[in-house]
Amino acid sequence: MSDEPNKGLQSPLRRKLLMGAAALPLVSILPRPSFGAGPATATVNTTGLAVTDTEVTVGILHSATGTMAISETGSIQAEKLAIEQINAAGGVLGRKIKFIQEDGASDWPTFAEKAKKLLVNDKVAAIMGCWTSASRKAVLPVVEQYNGMLYYPTFYEGLEQSKNVIYTGQEATQQILAGLNWIAKEKGAKSFFFIGSDYIWPRTSNKIARKHVENVLKGKVVGEEYYALGSTQFNSVINKIKLTKPDVIFTDVVGGSNVAFYKQLKAAGVDLSKQALLTISVTEDEIDGIGGENIAGAYACMKYFQSLDNANNKTFVPAFKKMWGEKTVIGDVTQAGYLGPWLWKLTCEKAGSFDVDKIAAASPGVEFKEAPEGYVRIHENHHLWSKTRVGRAKLDGQFELIFETADLIEPDPFPKGYQ
Amino acid sequence: MIITSRFFNRSELIGFVALALVLVVILPLSLDVFRLNLVAKYLTYAFVAIGLVLCWGYGGILSLGQGVFFGLGGYCMAMFLKLEASSVENTKIQSTPGIPDFMDWNQITALPLFWQPFHSLTFTVLAIILVPGLFALIIGTAMFKRRVGGTYFAIITQAVAAILTILIVGQQGYTGGINGMTDLRTLKGWDIRPDHAKIILYFFEVFLLFGCIFIAQFIRLTKLGRILVAMREQEDRVRFSGYSVANFKIFAFCMAAIFAAIGGAMFALNVGFMSPSFVGIVPSIEMVIYTAVGGRMSIFGAVWGALLVNFAKTGLSESFPQLWLFGLGALFIAVVLAFPNGLSGIWADYVQPRIDRLLALRKSKSGSPWAGNSVADGAPAE
């Protein structure tokens, strides 16, 4: 626990947040908090961003339509919740956050176009957005060229670092290594079978996992297979799994393919309570589609589960459900999306400015003690310090926390010895 | 057979002047650079749409795989730009500096052989024309010589689009996979990203577009254009008259492919991006929609169609981020139901007669100077 500061109700910000959250139902009745008491616009905005005496504009850029909409909706919801809570608690530097939502339409060039629109036309102070690596890669040159600030919520492959991006999800080593260590120790696992979707994130993640298995755990990778995005035929690889009998199946299959994979796995008689399976791509959101009965017993390696038992999460989950419905589930990326607006607000207040350069410089060291996942802090490389957790899927679609690292894990987007 | 001595008849001249006015004067003066750059993006589809007018509207060959050629042209351009952006000093963070970043992520340690020639701009420009041209020649020869046509041809072009997408996505070490090629920066050391570069690229693109319009118009007016129409209406009669139907079809298909490829290359330059999402079946069908909305018999209509649909797409998605696809769908249905000949149909039915009447009033009794409106403008046979 060395890195974890003393949490608790004595933190003034935490109290503010709690009050803000508690006041949410009252927002419609009470007069809205008055804005405009902050520092003068000329001092907090020297670069012509969309900041007035009472308002500051940010962009939300996710896919509301297309194949990715099902995954990205959670992030949109979390970001809107965070913005509403921040406004209820007095806004940022005395200004109310107004957001402009754009649809990336699951199409990477559209993401680039809309990011440009948000930065050039709307002059937004920050963008909360992107989900897939492909959309981030498309948007990155735009935010760098026009000097914007992007808060990116998804766990991703690493190998990237930008002044203009804060990565609120975990990079590959943060997500994978501790999970592999745990399963190797817990299950005495020596042989691993990798299955992934065929694009950059699974390939990079598996490369890192393979190096770790071979060099650190002294185990063996007995198979490594990739399937096209959206693929639904996994029978041949399931046969190979049955032949090679690996100690652990390690998967990073994404999106709708998951549904087919776990159903076929179950139909082929692979019992996940006996065959260890560790996934880095299934959150509560995906289980909604897969069905709890098809995946119960599998282990997932994440930094957040909806079932986390801490005080922050106990206020976050009800607030989220209150805003978006009792049936919504909250996955790892949704929680990371929620961090974006809060981290931005805290950074603005630390920097005393909305200027992107000042925010980029002030980001390292910013800590968010009310994060549903516990506590996070921004590293010099603009990624977050966070814990790795392993959960076991239950029949009801939730995860039961099995293991968490004692300390926060340092983000290392360019890991030495793993490239 | 009447062949007009003039290159444009009066109605086409009006269309030409109107388009030139809008593209060269009105849009650049009224839009900021961001919107102008979007127009440049829309216009890249106009190249494809003009090709489809030749191949589908005149030749009657419906290709649902134009994204393939758009993509090939775009990827050729993007490969050149990516190599320039991947200089050793730009990529020193990688395990192997000097190769494109996505190769490094995929553990490729040397530039593949087929990438090498793309260091040369001359080769790239030739490749943009020749690679899609030759590919279309091969597909066209294989299909048309065996008299595969109509629906079967459309299905096969779809299959080709699907195959190429899978190939690009699957070979991500060589192509950038689903991410595509991003972060294209300079052309021969000239930064293509700042505002002034966008304006220059826009005008260059408009210039090329008019070049393609002239070529298409020229083909339409020659005997070749008449044979294409004849072929569309009665293929057997043309064959019995001694013409090689297959060769004419191959020609029209290749021209459409080359136009699409030029559009693709301009896309990579203007947007700084190329990805498999422009190659597959959906974008290919969208390209046919641009032509249909514009009116598949009209070269100018194709340009308007591409502009209108894309403006609607951007406008609707900015105003209604959750619902815009429905609005776009409704627009298509409305156009197809109410105006089966597209925008050019609206022009011909409503606007043109008024202009004619106006002119006729002024020049009363001077006869009809453009009575010989070309045969090719006839209504589609279906």
Residue-level pLDDT, tens digit, chain B, 382 residues: 444 557 788 788 888 999 999 999 999 999 988 899 999 999 999 999 999 999 999 999 999 999 999 999 999 999 999 999 998 888 887 878 889 988 987 778 899 999 999 999 999 999 999 999 999 999 999 999 999 888 899 999 999 999 999 899 888 889 988 888 988 999 999 999 888 999 999 999 999 999 999 999 999 999 999 999 999 998 899 999 999 999 999 999 999 999 999 999 999 999 888 999 899 898 999 999 999 999 888 999 999 999 999 998 888 888 888 788 888 888 888 877 888 888 888 888 888 888 888 878 776 654 444 444 444 444 443 3
Instruction: Report CB contact under 8 Å: B273, A64.
Output: no
Whether residue A126 sits in one domain with residue A186: no
Task: Please tell me the distance from the alpha carbon of residue A371 to that of residue A14, in angstroms, as a whole number.
Answer: 10
Using alpha carbons, select from A107, A123, A289, A278 the residue that is nearest to residue A192: A278
Of A101, A109, A159, the CB nearest to B273: A109
Residues of B whose CB is below 8 A from A65: 322, 324-325
Task: Say whether residue B121 is in contact with chain A using an 8 A CB cutoff.
Answer: no
Rounded to 5 degrees, φ, ψ at B150 are: 60, -135
In order along its 419 residues, chain A shows pLDDT tens digits of 444 444 444 455 555 555 555 544 444 444 455 687 788 888 999 999 999 999 999 999 999 887 788 789 999 999 999 999 999 999 999 999 999 999 998 888 889 999 999 999 999 999 999 998 889 999 999 999 999 999 999 999 888 999 999 999 999 999 999 999 999 999 999 999 999 988 888 988 998 999 999 999 999 999 999 988 778 899 999 999 999 999 999 999 987 789 999 999 999 999 999 999 999 999 998 898 899 999 999 999 999 999 999 999 999 999 999 999 999 999 999 999 999 999 999 999 999 999 999 999 999 999 999 999 999 999 999 999 999 999 999 999 999 999 999 999 999 998 888 76
Instruction: Report CB contact under 8 Å: A134, B325.
Output: no
Instruction: Take residue B5 and report the two structure tokens written for it.
Output: 């001595």
Whether residue A272 sits in one domain with residue A205: yes
Could you give the 3-state DSSP secondary structure of residue B273?
Answer: coil
Task: Please tell me the distance from the alpha carbon of residue A159 to that of residue A149, in angstroms, as a whole number.
Answer: 19
A347 located within any domain: yes
B376 located within any domain: no
Whether residue A151 sits in one domain with residue A239: no
Can you give the residue range of the structural domain that contains B134?
Answer: 10-365
B156 located within any domain: yes
Task: Please tell me the distance from the alpha carbon of residue B205 to that of residue B190, in angstroms, as a whole number.
Answer: 17
* pTM for the full predicted model: 0.83
Whether residue A231 sits in one domain with residue A192: yes
Whether residue A323 sits in one domain with residue A298: no
Using alpha carbons, select from A398, A405, A346 the residue that is nearest to residue A370: A346
Residues of B whose CB is below 8 A from A229: 169, 178
Task: Please tell me the distance from the alpha carbon of residue A23 to that of residue A9, in angstroms, as a whole number.
Answer: 17
Whether residue A396 sits in one domain with residue A362: no
Residues of B whose CB is below 8 A from A136: none
A62 located within any domain: yes
Task: Please tell me the distance from the alpha carbon of residue A81 to that of residue B135, in angstroms, as a whole number.
Answer: 52
Whether residue A289 sits in one domain with residue A210: yes
Beta bridge mates, A102: A61
Using alpha carbons, select from A234, A293, A222, A274 the residue that is nearest to residue A258: A234
A376 located within any domain: yes
Residue for token pair 């627009």? B331
Residue for token pair 């070529």? B215
A188 located within any domain: yes
Whether residue A366 sits in one domain with residue A290: no
Whether residue A400 sits in one domain with residue A288: yes
How much of chain B is helix, strand and coil, in % rounded to 5?
75, 0, 25
A397 located within any domain: yes
A132 located within any domain: yes
- If 0-12 CB within 10 Å is exposed, 13-18 middle and 19+ buried, where does residue B43 land? buried
B1 located within any domain: no
pLDDT of residue B160: 96
Whether residue A243 sits in one domain with residue A147: no
Element housing B358 (H / E):
helix B352-362
Task: Say whether residue B45 is in contact with chain A using an 8 A CB cutoff.
Answer: no
A6 located within any domain: no
B328 located within any domain: yes
Instruction: Report CB contact under 8 Å: B317, A141.
Output: no
Number of domains into which chain A is organized: 2
B287 located within any domain: yes
Number of domains into which chain B is organized: 1
A75 located within any domain: yes
Can you give the residue range of the structural domain that contains A235?
Answer: 172-302+391-404
Beta bridge mates, A383: A167
pLDDT of residue A5: 44
Q: Mind telling me how many Å the CA of B112 is from chain A's nearest CA?
A: 19
Contacts of A206 (CB under 8 A, 6+ apart): A194, A196, A224, A250, A252
